[in-house]
Structure 1
Amino acid sequence: MVDAAVPASELNVVLSELLRTSLLPRGACVAGAVDDVTVTEVGFMAVPDIGPWLHRGQLLITTPETLARVSEPFRSFISRLSTRGVAALAVQFGGDGDTVAPELIDAAEAVGFPVIVFHGACEHHAVNNRVAVESEQIDAMFGAERLRRLLVDVVMSSGGLPELAEVIAREMKGAALVTTSDGREICHAGPSAEWKRLSSSPAVDSTGRLRTDCVEGGLGLHEFDGRFIAVAAISATHIDHGRLALFSGERGLSSYDLYLIERAASVCALVITREQAVASVEERHRANFVHDLLLGRAGDHDHVVSHAKTFGWDFDRPLVVVSIEPDPVDEPVTAMPARLPVVDRQAMAFSGAIAHRDRGAAVTALTGETVIVMGVGTDTMALVRELATVVRGEGGGGRRPFSVGVSRPAAAIEAVPTLYAQARTALTVGRRISGPWTVTQFDDLGVYRLLSLVEDQNELETFARETLRELTEETAEAQDMRNTLEVLLATNINIAETARKLHFHYNTLRYRVVKLEKMLGPFTAQPELRLDLSLALKIIAMRGINH
C-alpha cells in the first residue's frame, strides 16, 4: 500500500542549513543534532493528536501552547515522532521566551531526536499553506468529537462492535471494517458495493485478511488504484486489540478521515475491553474445567457431559484432542502497542475458525498452549488442517508460527488424559522433525513414538553419533551422504531404484555405497546394522543433533 498523503511543502535540505533561513528565525537546537538530518517537507501541529499528519522527513512546527495540550508522556510523544521518521520538532515562540519542558528535552536527547526553538513568524515559501493545514486539523478535532459522541451513545445503549461499525460507515460514507490485530474480520458495515471493492482490493490478502504485515501494522492512510483506506489501531491500556479500517472507492480519503478513524478506534477499544472483562471470568471457569479434564479429575462421564453443556460443549460423542503451541521465535522490537499474549490470540483465532464447523467443540487457552476437544468427523485430520490454514492465513500480519498435535479418537471421557498426552507427543515430535507450522497426528509418528519415550536424551544422541559416525557432522557432504543412505534404506538397498530417485548414474551410486560401507560397516549385508542406521537417522531428524 502507498501513502496517499500530499506533503504540506516539499523541501530537500539539511536541517542545519534551514536554521540559517527565514523559515526558522533566530533558531537554535536544544536537543539532538542537526548536521546529518535531511528535511524533505514542512508540517504543522495545531492539535495534540497529530498522528495522521506525520510524515517521514518532516520538520514539524508547533507552538508551546499546543505542546502543553499533549496528553501522552513526552517520552511516548517523541518516540512516536522518531519512529514515524519525522526529521525534527521546531517550537515557535512569539516573544523572547524559549522555555521547553525539561521532560521533552530529556526524551529527545535519549533517542537523539532534534528539537529546535525559534522566534517570530516564518517567512518562507514552505509555510504558504500553514493556515489551511492547521484549519484542517482543528476541523478534524471538532468532527472527531461529534463522531465520538454518536459512538459513545451506542456504547451506552449496550451496543457492540457491529453497531459501532454501522455508525462509522454511515457517518463517514464508506465501508467500515473491524478486525483482530492480525487482520481477521470481526464485523463490517457499509454499502455492499464498497464492501465488494474492499474484498477484491490489495488491502486484503488472498484469505480475506486485512493486510497488517506491512510497516507499523498497516496503519495509516493508503491509496491503490484510486481507492483509499484509512487504518487505525484499536488499543487500550497499551494492548493492541485490533484494527478499525474505513474504505472508500467513491471519494478520496485524507488525513482528516484518518484522524476521525483513530478517534473512533478508541471507542471501539472501550467495547472490546468491556467484552473481555466479562469473557475473562467465564474463560477462567472453562479453562479450569478443561485443565481438570486433561488431568483426569473432572469427574465421571455423566458429570463431565452435563457440565460441558453449560459452556455449550458437546462431550457426549467420540472425541479427539488437539494441542496447538506457538513455535519459538525472536519477537522484533516495535513501537506498536503490546498485543495480547500469543496463546490468547491463537485461542481466539481457532475459536472463530471452528465455530461454524463444530459448534460443540471446546477451545481453551491454557498456560503456553491452546487445547481443542472436538468431535470425531468423517475426516478429522482434514478439518484440523483446514482450521490451521484459516488461522495461519498467508502467514503475515504478525501471525506467530505454531505447531499442532492431534490425538487418536476415543469414545470414553476417561480416555481424554491419554488423548491429551498423545496430542502433546505428536506436537513435540512433529515440530522436531518438520519445523514450524506442522500439523501432526499421533498415528503418523510410527517409530518416532517409541523414540520419544526414551527419557535419556543424551543416550539417544550418543547412539546416533556412534552409529552414523562422521555422517553426523554439519558439512554439506555429510548431509548429502545421509540423504543417500536414507533413500537406500527406504528402497531396501535397491541400487537401481535409489539411483532413479536421487537422479544419479547407477555407477555413481555404486561408488557411494562402497564409500558409505567404509564409514559405517557392511550394512548392505547386515539387516541388524540397517535397522541401527535407520533408527539413528530418525533420531537425527527428531532431535536435530547435527545442527
Structure 2
Amino acid sequence: MTNEPAPPALRLASTGKILHGISVGEVLEVSTLADAQLIAGKDGLGRIVQRLNVMEVPDILAWVKPNELLLTTGYPLRNTPQSLDRLVADLDERGLSALAIKLGRYLDELPEVMVEQADRLAFPLILLPNDVGFDDILNQVLTDILNRQAAMLARTEEAHRALVQIVLAGGGLREVTAEVAGLLQVAVAAVDRSGRILATAGDPAQVARLREIHAAAADVTATSITPVFEADHHYTAVPVVAGGHHYGRIAAYSPHEPLGAGEIQILERAATVAALVITKQEAITAVESKYRADFLRDVLAGRGGARVTDRARAFGWDLERPMCVLVAEIDPDAVERPIQDRMVSAWQAAVRKHDPCGAVAGFSHEVVAVVGSSVDPVRLARDARSAVPDGTFSTGISRVAQDAGALPGAYGQALKAARVGRQLHGAGAIAHFDELGVYRLLSLVKDTGELHAFVKETLGPLAGDDDPDNADLRRTLQVLLETNLNVAETARRLHFHYNTLRYRISKLERMLGCFTQDPHLRLNLTLALHVLRMRGI
C-alpha cells in the first residue's frame, strides 16, 4: 500500500455522537489491502467504518447505511458511466465512510470529476487489487471491528469494576478522578452544575491546561445529556446525570490526541459512578441537615436541654458566646421548593464565610442563622441574598443574645423583624428588630380589623387612595407631622408656596380636627399613618 499513515480516528460524528468502529486509515492496514491505493479523499481517512456493503445493483443508494465501506467492481455502473459524476456526492450525503472499487473488468478508469469531488468532500476513494476477493476483505475488516469492540468492552468493564469498587470502599470524587486519570493517562476533573471544579487528577501541567479550557468552554454549565468537545476535541466533558437531575460533568484533557470512543465510554462510566457518589453524599447531607434543623428548632423553642452547647459543638457550632439570630423568610409570592433549597445553600455559604462556627438550618419557609455578635449581620444577609437572584426573601435581625438560653427570644425578634420589614419596605427587605420602633408595637396587635377601623376613624377620607387629592393631602399631613408642624420646612420639602401650605393646613383641620393645637390628635394621626405604611395589614 502506497498511501501515507492515517491520522488517528476521532471516533466522533459531526453531531458529537460517539461512533464505535475503526477508521478508514486503519482499514487500509489490514493484510488483504496491503496493495490497495488511496486515490482521493485523503482528508477523510478518519471516517469511521462500522459495517461493509457490496454494490451489486444500480439503485444501491436505497440500500446503503451510514458509516459503511462500500465495495464494488463497477458492474452496476458499466452501462451508465455518467452517474459516476454524482455518485460520490450521493454516498457522502448518506454518511458512507468510503468507496473501494476494482477497475479493469467493467470500468477502466474513474472520471477526473469524480476524483476531484472526492478530494473536495474528503470522501476516500480506494483502488482495490484485482486479486483480492470481497469475501476476504469482509472477513478481515469485520473481524477487526468485532475484535476492537470486544477489547473496548472488556477495557470499559474493567474500568467500571474499578470505579464501582471505589464507591463500595467509601471513596469520593477525588478517588474517581484519580482512577480515570490513571487509566487514560489524561487530566481529569469533576465539575458541578455551576461549573465549579470539585476534584482534579493527573499531571499538574495537564490539569492546569484543563482548567484553562474548562474556564473558556461555553457549555460547562449546560444541562444537555450529550458530551461537550472543546479545543479540537482534546477537551471532552460528559454529563453526570441521575434520576433526571443534572449534577455536573466529568471533564478530561488529552494533550497528545483526542480521546477515542473507548476512552469516552470510560468517562461515561466514571460519570455514572460520580452520580452514585453525589447522590449518596446528598442523601447523607439530607439526613444530617434534618438532624441539624431539628436540633436548632429545639434550641430556638427552648427545648435544647442542659447540654445544648455540647451538642451544638458536635455540629461545629459555637453557642457559648454573645450571638444574634437572623431569619430569612421566603416572600409569599416566591414559595417554591427550588428557591428554598437555593436559599439554604446560599445562607450556608455566607455563614461559612463570615462565621465558620455559626449555625444555620432550613425550616419549612425560612432559613435561620445564629452567628457571633461580632459579625456584620446586614452584610451577611446581603451576601446570602446576592446568591439567590431569582428568589426573594425578607430578613430579620435580632438583638444580641448573651447565651443559648436567650436564643428563643432572639428568634422571635428576628422573625418579627423579617415580617414587619416586609410590610414596611416590601419583598427582600432587611430589618433589625431595634430599628422597628413603633412598628414593633403595632405588629403586636393581632386584630387587623381593629387597626383598619382605627385608621378609618382617625384619617376619615384620607384613609383611602381612591381620590388623588386626598392622597396628596395625606402626604402633606405626613410631612407636617414629620417636621413637628414647621410650616417653612414643610413648604420647602413639598415645593409649595407658604400661603398654599397655609391653605392646605386649614383644609386638613376642617377634615380631621384642630391637630395643630391638639397633641393627642397629632399622636393618633401619626399612628394611623404608620399603620398605613405597614403593608399587608
TM range (shorter): 0.5 to 0.7
Q: Supply the distance in 2 between the matched residues of 1:260 and 1:502 (Cα, whole angstroms).
A: 73
Residue 385 (1) aligns with residue 400 (2): no
- Partner letter of residue 128 of structure 1? E
2:57 paired residue number: none
When residues 390 and 241 of structure 1 are mapped into structure 2, their CA distance, relative to the original with a 3 A threshold, is farther
Match of 1:540 among 521, 526, 532: 532
2:170 to 129, 147, 158: 158
Match of 1:271 among 262, 277, 280: 277
Using the TM superposition, give the Cα deviation of residue 267 of structure 1 relative to its aligned residue in structure 2, in angstroms: 3.7
Distance (whole Å) between structure 2 residues aligned to residue 457 and residue 341 of structure 1: 32
Q: Give 2:332's aligned amino acid.
A: P
Deviations 1:303-355 (A, max 9, x none): 111221122211111122221222223579xxxxxxx6543442233222222
Alignment of 1:211-222 (within 5 A): none
Q: Counterpart of 1:328 in structure 2: which amino acid?
A: P
Equivalent of 1:530 in 499, 522, 526 = 522
The alpha carbon displacement at 1:429 in A equals 0.9
Separation (CA, whole Å) in 1 of partners of 2:385 and 2:234: 26
Q: Which amino acid aligns with 1:318?
A: P
Q: CA deviation at 1:535?
A: 1.5
404, 413, 431: which is aligned to 1:413?
A: 404
Q: In structure 2, what residue type is equivalent to 1:486?
A: Q
Q: Residue 395 and residue 345 in structure 1: after superposition, are their counterparts in 2 closer, same or farther (change >3 A)?
A: closer
Asked if structure 1 preserves the Cα contact closer than 8 Å seen for 2:213 and 2:230, the reply is no
- The answer to whether the 8 A contact 2:354-2:380 is kept is no
> Aligned to 1:187, which of 189, 198, 217?
198
**Equivalents in 2 of 1:532, 1:126: separation in Å?**
90
- In structure 2, the CA distance between the partners of 1:144 and 1:282, relative to structure 1 (3 Å rule), is same
Root-mean-square deviation (Å): 5.1
Distance, in Å, in 2 between the alignment partners of 1:298 and 1:522 is: 56
Quote the residue 2:299 is aligned against: 293
The secondary structure found in structure 2 opposite 1:492 is: coil
Which residue of structure 2 aligns with residue 373 of structure 1? 370
Comparing 404-413 with 157-166, greater Cα deviation is found at 157-166
Whether 1:307 and 2:311 are equivalent positions in the alignment is: yes
Please report how far the alpha carbon of residue 454 of structure 1 lies from its aligned counterpart in structure 2 after TM superposition. Answer: 0.8
Which residue does the alignment assign to 1:432?
423
Deviation readout 1:257-307 (Å, 9 max, x if unpaired): 99998876554332222112223333333333222211212223xx11122
Q: How far did residue 472 of structure 1 move?
A: 2.3
Shift of residue 410, structure 1, vs aligned partner = 1.7
1:452 counterpart (440, 443, 447): 443
Distance 2:502 2:159 in 1: 78
Query: CA 1:226/1:298 → structure 2, altered by over 3 Å: closer, same or farther?
Result: same
The answer to whether structure 1 residue 520 and structure 2 residue 517 are counterparts is: no
Q: 1:44 to 1:158 in 2, by over 3 A?
A: closer
Once residues 297 and 533 of structure 2 are traced to their aligned partners in structure 1, the CA distance between those partners, rounded to angstroms, is 32
Q: Secondary structure in 2 aligned to 1:306?
A: helix
Q: Deviations over 1:158-178 (max 9, x none)?
A: 332355567789979789563
How far is 1:471 from its partner? 3.9
| TM-aligned CA deviation for residue 489 of structure 1 | 2.3
Letter in 2 for 1:429: V
- Provide the TM-score with structure 1 as the length reference: 0.58
Asked if the contact 1:220–1:258 (Cα under 8 Å) also holds between the matched residues in 2, the reply is: no
* Structure 1 residue 467 displacement after superposition: 2.4
Aligned runs of 1:19-34 on 2, under 5 Å? none
Q: Which amino acid aligns with 2:167?
A: V
Q: Is the 8 A contact 1:198 1:247 kept in 2?
A: no
- 1:154 is displaced (CA, Å) by 4.7
In structure 2, distance between residues paired with 1:129 and 1:146: 36
Structure whose CA Rg is larger:
2
What fraction of aligned residue pairs are identical, expressed as a percent?
38
Amino acid of the structure 2 residue aligned with 1:535: L
* Partner AA of 1:314 in structure 2: D
| In 2: Cα distance, 1:480 partner to 1:230 partner | 65
**AA aligned opposite 1:155:** V
| Contact 2:423 2:535 (C-alpha < 8 Å) held by counterparts | yes
1:536 is paired with a residue whose SS is helix
1:319 aligns with 2:316: no
CA drift at 1:156: 4.3
Q: Give 5+ residue unaligned stretches, structure 1.
A: 1-6, 10-42, 48-92, 95-123, 133-137, 205-209, 333-339
Match of 2:346 in 1: 349
- 1:462 is aligned to 2:453: yes
Residue equivalent to 1:284? 290
Compare relative contact order (CA 8 Å, sep 6+) and give the higher one, 1 or 2: 1
State the alpha-carbon separation in 1 of the partners of residues 265 and 516 from structure 2.
73
Between the aligned partners of 1:459 and 1:375, the Cα distance in structure 2 is: 39
Q: Does structure 2 conserve the Cα–Cα contact (< 8 Å) formed by 1:405 and 1:426? A: yes
C-alpha contact 2:328 2:366 (8 A) present in aligned 1: yes
Contact persistence 1:241–1:272 (CA under 8 A): no
C-alpha distance 267-415 of structure 1, shift in aligned 2 (>3 A): same
**2:338, 2:286 → 1: CA distance?**
14
Instruction: Read off the aligned partner of 2:290 and give its amino acid letter.
Output: R
Whole-angstrom distance in 1 between the partners of 2:345 and 2:454: 43
